[in-house]
């Protein structure tokens, strides 16, 4: 049995998120370059008050850019802080996964049901399996650089040999496609682009397509569609065990029903929808951010104040950089 290939939709969702992120990063880099150029133009050159000169030389470039381009500064701050927050959330999720993985151990000794299933699966290495002696019925794939397949003893006991073989082929497909790494990238980009309504839709699309792609790969490798559908139903009804933070899974009842129907041949098409309102809103947000980052709404710089030749302002001339000692002595002689 062959299903419509969903891999292009999974990669398309990941590519769309990456493209949005690159556009905003490009805008932030252009904003920073504009800030540097603006600060260079705004360096005070006329002979003004010494205190104002000191403030201009220390904090002037930054505050001058914020005052000249407040919208650019606000948009750049939003993008940079969002990417920083996404990095923290990803680090926390990977820490949760590490703690979950530590509860599992290598498969040692004889596990009769698992051994019988592996006997017909040369593509699944026993060394890539991790087992937890728990009554929960779970199977998932974890690991960014060296992914592993994690199983619970309750799942092995509840499935038949054919069902367990189908589950192992499904998880081996996640492992081969490095879905934990791809999902980590998608999670980071979605959190970083939280202000774009379409980002959440792209993440859900990736999760759905990654699961459907693994189902199809399992069938291509020799798994039985009926057995895999039965295993999905049993896993959904099983007791919940350790829940990883970054793992290829989408356990909503509607999607589980869609997977079972596709495996049983009751549904063939791949349903991918992007709500037009959310798409239009996302386009408006991206366009506004790009305009702001590239200097839209820049406040024209006011002309520098005229410098009068009064007596008191000239007292600050010795403090100016580049003031020659001879010149300073001559000016003091004229003033006093």
Q: List strand residue ranges (DSSP E) for 107-204, in order.
A: 129-132, 139-142, 148-152
Predicted TM-score (pTM) of this structure: 0.75
Q: How confident is the model at residue 63 (pLDDT cuts 50, 70, 90)?
A: low
The H or E element containing residue 49 is none
Q: Is-contact 242 168, C-beta < 8 A?
A: no
End-to-end CA distance of the chain: 100
285-315 confidence digits (pLDDT tens)? 888 888 887 765 555 555 545 444 444 444 4
SS3 state of residue 151: strand
82-122 confidence digits (pLDDT tens)? 999 999 999 999 999 999 999 999 998 888 999 999 988 98
Show Cβ contacts of residue 206 under 8 Å, excluding neighbours closer than 6 positions.
Answer: 10, 13, 14, 182, 183, 186
Strand partners, 151: 131, 139
Residue written as tokens 């252009």? 30
How many Cα atoms within 13 Å fall on the side-chain side of residue 283?
Answer: 7
| Cα 37 to Cα 35: distance, rounded to the nearest angstrom | 5
């Amino acid at each position: 049995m062959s299903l419509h290939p969903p891999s292009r939709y999974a990669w398309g969702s990941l590519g769309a998120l990456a493209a949005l992120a690159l556009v905003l990063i490009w805008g932030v880099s252009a904003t920073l370059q504009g800030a540097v150029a603006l600060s260079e133009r705004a360096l005070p050159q006329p002979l003004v008050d010494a205190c104002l000169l000191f403030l201009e030389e220390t904090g002037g470039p930054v505050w001058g850019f914020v005052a000249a381009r407040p919208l650019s500064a606000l948009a750049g701050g939003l993008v940079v802080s969002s990417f920083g927050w996404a990095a923290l959330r990803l680090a926390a999720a990977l820490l949760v996964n590490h703690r979950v993985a530590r509860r599992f151990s290598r498969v040692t000794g004889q596990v009769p049901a698992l051994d019988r299933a592996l006997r017909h699966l040369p593509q699944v290495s026993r060394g890539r399996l991790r087992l937890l002696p728990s009554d929960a019925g779970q199977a998932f794939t974890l690991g960014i650089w060296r992914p592993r397949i994690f199983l619970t003893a309750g799942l092995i006991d509840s499935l038949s040999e054919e069902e367990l073989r189908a589950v192992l082929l499904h998880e081996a497909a996640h492992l081969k496609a490095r879905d934990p790494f791809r999902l980590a990238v998608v999670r980071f980009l979605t959190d970083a682009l939280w202000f774009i309504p379409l980002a959440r839709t792209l993440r859900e699309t990736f999760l759905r397509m990654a699961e459907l792609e693994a189902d199809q790969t399992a069938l291509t490798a020799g798994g039985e569609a009926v057995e895999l559908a039965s295993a999905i139903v049993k896993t959904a009804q099983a007791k919940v065990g350790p829940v990883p933070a970054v793992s290829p899974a989408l356990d909503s009842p509607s999607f589980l029903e869609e997977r079972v129907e596709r495996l049983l041949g009751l549904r063939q098409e791949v349903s991918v929808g992007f709500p037009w309102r959310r798409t239009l809103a996302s386009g408006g947000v991206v366009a506004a951010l790009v305009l702001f980052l590239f200097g839209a709404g820049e406040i024209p710089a006011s002309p520098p104040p005229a410098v009068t030749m009064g007596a008191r302002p000239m007292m600050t001339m010795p403090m100016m950089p580049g003031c020659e000692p001879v010149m300073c002595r001559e000016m003091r002689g004229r003033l006093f």
